Amino acid sequence: MDTVFLIFVIVFSAIIHEYSHGWMANQLGDPTAKYAGRLTLNPLKHIDPIGSILLPLLLIPTGFLFAYAKPVPYNPYNLKDQKWGPVKVAFAGPLANFFLAFIFGITLQLVPAGPMTSFFYIIVYANVLLGVFNLVPIPPLDGSKLLFAFLPSNAMRVRQVLQQYGFLILIVFIMSFSSILSPVIQFFVNLFVGGGPRF
């Protein structure tokens, strides 16, 4: 039951993540997501058959659950701030996840321990997982936008390599180094829930 609920929460949190990208882009002058009908929380507009359904089901045996929604389209050339606009759009997604983790973490600390306790904890965990993972500075993850904003002009070759091979590098990272994210994720989960779950 907890696994099924975790998948549901990750998928819906990924939808909120993508919506936040589109919302921020719209606020900064790019209405692409709005015109594409993606500036909505309607799951049918965001669900990706592979990333939202197949991937989390295939990952169940591994114990590492993850999912993603269809990326919200946006045109960076429409943004009012050409340097930091893409960074703001990129970080709107993880920030939305951390905000949800904060809200449900506060709720978890305020309500008495009971049947809903584990569900609140799962919501916090799922959103911290999405927030932290998307801040890894590997394309196409959001963290790469911050990395690119700070890369000096003489490091453009690094950017080209990451953009060209980012997906393969990301797969290697997930398979070989994703365990290093576990203590980071748990740190923020404990921070939001006040030390740990109350079951």
User: Could you report the per-residue pLDDT of 180-193, keeping only the tens digit for each?
Assistant: 888 999 999 999 99
Rg (CA), the chain: 17
Residue 198 lies in a domain: no
Residue 39 lies in a domain: yes
Which residues have C-beta within 8 Å of that of residue 143, sequence separation ≥ 6?
90, 134, 135, 136, 137
Q: How far are the Cα atoms of 31, 87, 109 from residue 48, in angstroms, in the given order?
A: 22, 24, 34
Q: How far apart are the first and last CA of the chain?
A: 15
The reported pLDDT for the residue numbered 99 is 97
Residue 163 lies in a domain: yes
Q: Which two tokens stand for residue 132?
A: 């932290």
pLDDT at residue 197 is higher than 80 = no
Residue 199 lies in a domain: no
Tell me the C-alpha distance between 122 and 128, whole Å. 10
In this structure, which amino acid lies at residue 169?
I
Residue 107 lies in a domain: yes
The reported pLDDT for the residue numbered 195 is 67
Classify 91 as helix, strand or coil.
Answer: helix
Tell me the C-alpha distance between 169 and 166, whole Å. 5
**Region of poorest pLDDT, from 31-35, 37-41, 79-83, 95-99:** 79-83
Band (157; pLDDT cuts 50, 70, 90) = confident
Mean pLDDT of 108-123: 88
Give how many domains the chain has, as a whole number.
1
Supply the range of the domain harboring residue 37. Answer: 2-193
Band (61; pLDDT cuts 50, 70, 90) = confident
Residue 126 lies in a domain: yes
Tell me, yes or no, if the pTM score tops 0.75. Answer: yes
Mean pLDDT of 115-121: 89
Residue 18 lies in a domain: yes
Residue 71 lies in a domain: yes
Band (199; pLDDT cuts 50, 70, 90) = very low
Q: What is the DSSP letter of 43?
A: G
Q: Which two tokens stand for residue 90?
A: 């990129």
